[in-house]
Amino acid sequence: VRAFAHVPHLVVDSGDPIFLVSPGGKSLDQSLKIADGLRQIDVELFVITDEPDEFSEVRVLEIPSIGEAWSSFLTALPTQWLCWAVATAKGYDVVNKDGRHSNPEAYEMAHRRWVRD
């Protein structure tokens, strides 16, 4: 299991709220890289994790340790649904965000860092 982020589909601007589900385990290192890149884009980052001490300078929603293999089902799916519901209520097209990047250079820099491993 790698860090749960739909990187190719991650279309964000500075100030957007982002929820990163990051359980302890093999994916934690990748999650830390993703969190660092998101801070460079200057989003409002919330990390859902059972390893709160690993994340500094972001808001952490601490969850009980349930094991990396099950965390997606118990945390990411409800969070993804919530994000979809909020985006739909605000009238965002969650499939196509052409031209939405106000700072494409920062996004591309973070994206390259995420996918190079």
Looking at every residue in the chain, the average pLDDT score rounds to 75
Q: 69 burial class (0-12, 13-18, 19+ CB within 10 angstroms)?
A: exposed
Would the pLDDT of 27 be above 90? no
The answer to whether 7 and 35 are in contact (CB under 8 A) is no
pTM score:
0.65
pLDDT value at position 38?
Answer: 85
Our measurement of the distance from residue 11's CA atom to the centroid of its chain's CA atoms, rounded to an integer in Å, reads 11
Each residue's pLDDT tens digit, 40-97: 888 888 998 899 999 988 899 888 888 777 777 777 778 778 877 877 787 776 665 5
Cα–Cα distance measured from residue 75 to residue 79, given in angstroms and rounded to the nearest whole number:
6
- CA pair distance 108, 93, nearest whole angstrom: 21
* Secondary structure (DSSP) of 77-105: HHHHHHHHHHHHHTT--SS--TT--S-HH
Residue the block writes with tokens 């990163």: 20
Q: H/E/C letters for each residue in 2-13?
A: CCECCHHHCCCC
